[in-house]
Amino acid sequence: MNIFQPTTVRASKKLRLISWTLGLLFVLSAVNFFLSTSPLTESEFYPSLLQTLFFSLLGGAMLLLAWGIVRYTRWVRTPLYVVFVSNALLFVYSTFMVLDWVEASSSLVVAILLFIYLKQSKSILTGRRWLGLQIFTILALLPGTLFILLTVVFPDERLLDDSSLQLDPAAVLAPEENLYVTVTDLGTELPGSAQEAKQLVDGYPAEWDQTEANRLLGTLAPQAAAYLAATEQQYQCPTSVNDFSMDADFCELNLLRDYAEVAQFAAITEARRGNSALAQEYAMAPIKVGKAMVESDNVSTIEYLAGLASMNIGLDTLAILEEQGVLGSAAIAQLLESATIPTETLRTPLQREYLGMRLTLEESLDIPQSYIYHPNRTRNEYYTFMSAAVQNGTRECVVTASDTQSAADQEMITYLEDQRAKAFNPARPNIIGNIFLTVVLSSLSGVQNNVCEINERVAEYAR
């Protein structure tokens, strides 16, 4: 028999009633979603338009199915496959969209009724049920619909007020007041002699060659002079000032580190020449530049850490000068009187870090809430952690004899451990957000320790 040949079907009233009811329900839903569309929406998903499409397909298919039950077999099989595919697509789509109880319940009802329909229906041509569609409904549509219901049962949170972590725009420094502009006026790369000078410092004192050092310092004189001039200026990255996004165009921080190493080389060379005053000036240059960086009112976390690294280079240089007998402990203590870093300076980079990650959450992860991702909850938890990090990181450094952790440190550690424990647990809502938080928060947990270590070194010289 030709499967496209019209064939009269005697079907139960129950099946016809189900098909007509669902068909009209879906058509009305499609009309409702269409009327709620906004052509000016900025969303990439256009939820109402997609829902209109899916419900139009479902509604049209169910009406054809109802008509086919009464009149023709060929109008039964095709709409049934359309219902099957449309409901599957609706599930996949709804998994990533904001749902309400009406939509979630209707999706559950559709899956159940579709299963009942498939169970009671038989092909007039073959006398067999559509077993494959039944199995798919049981294994995919019903569990999938329950997953959609979880999205409704566990909704996203309201956003918390995060004004306490907002960062006011900084006044842009004039080029002649910006140390970064001063050192980069000579280019963004140091001459090859800078690497040779670094090798001499790495081999100091066993492999030190004073004649070679004098030659190299002569070639690096412009860079050394520019770095000394920069110590009297403030720091600000011209390309990223007031740009709080994670992909801001940051300055060449490695260049500043290389300049600090040039100053270290110059300090040792001048000390060996007997120029103690100039050696002191070069030794203090990385400390002054580093302090200017950490005290900037627009500094990022990575710039802050670069500033701490610069200060460490300067402190290492002072230690070398002390070993050479160029500087005594009293003289070093006097030089470092104003070198202590106020822990309050950590507030700015942490606030900037928060704002950058907040923009990432709003842009890169800008997908509506579902059971597996709650954007608001993720941002709220990140805000809660960063607020605690600011309070914890800006407290005074206290080092006890037993080096025990403070209550604030213990609280931060406990919070991080809790995040790690629940990150990969699919039974908990917001698994994507939990994984994201685990990765991000772990990278921010030790910044304050770096500040305290610098201050400890400074304090040791002052004793």
| pLDDT tens by residue, 95-151 | 555 456 666 666 666 666 666 666 665 554 445 555 665 666 666 566 666 777 777
pLDDT at 449: 65
Provide the terminal-to-terminal Cα distance of the chain, rounded to the nearest Å: 103
Q: How confident is the prediction for the chain on average, in pLDDT?
A: 76
In sequence order, what are the beta bridge partners of 370? 373
> In a 3-state reduction of DSSP, which class is residue 380?
helix
pLDDT at 335: 85
DSSP 8-class letter at 86: H
pLDDT at 230 over 70: yes
- When pLDDT is averaged across residues 320-344 and rounded to a whole number, the result is 85
User: Based on C-alpha coordinates, what's the Rg of the chain?
Assistant: 34
Q: What percent of the chain has pLDDT over 70?
A: 61
| pLDDT tens by residue, 442-461 | 766 555 566 777 777 777 76
- When pLDDT is averaged across residues 77-90 and rounded to a whole number, the result is 60
pLDDT at 401: 41
pLDDT at 441: 75
Instruction: Give me 429's structure tokens.
Output: 């809502």
pLDDT at 258 over 50: yes
Give the integer Cα–Cα distance in Å for 463 and 363: 51
Q: 80 pLDDT band (50/70/90 cuts)? A: low
Give the integer Cα–Cα distance in Å for 278 and 120: 96
Q: 212 pLDDT band (50/70/90 cuts)? A: very high
> In a 3-state reduction of DSSP, which class is residue 117?
helix
Instruction: Give me 22's structure tokens.
Output: 């669902």
Place of tokens 């710039």: 303
| pLDDT tens by residue, 1-51 | 344 344 344 445 666 666 666 666 666 666 665 665 555 444 444 555 656
| pLDDT tens by residue, 377-432 | 888 988 988 888 888 777 776 654 445 555 666 666 777 777 777 777 777 888 88
Please give the biggest Cα pair distance in the chain: 111
pLDDT at 176 over 90: yes
127: left (phi over 0), alpha (psi -120 to 50) or beta: left
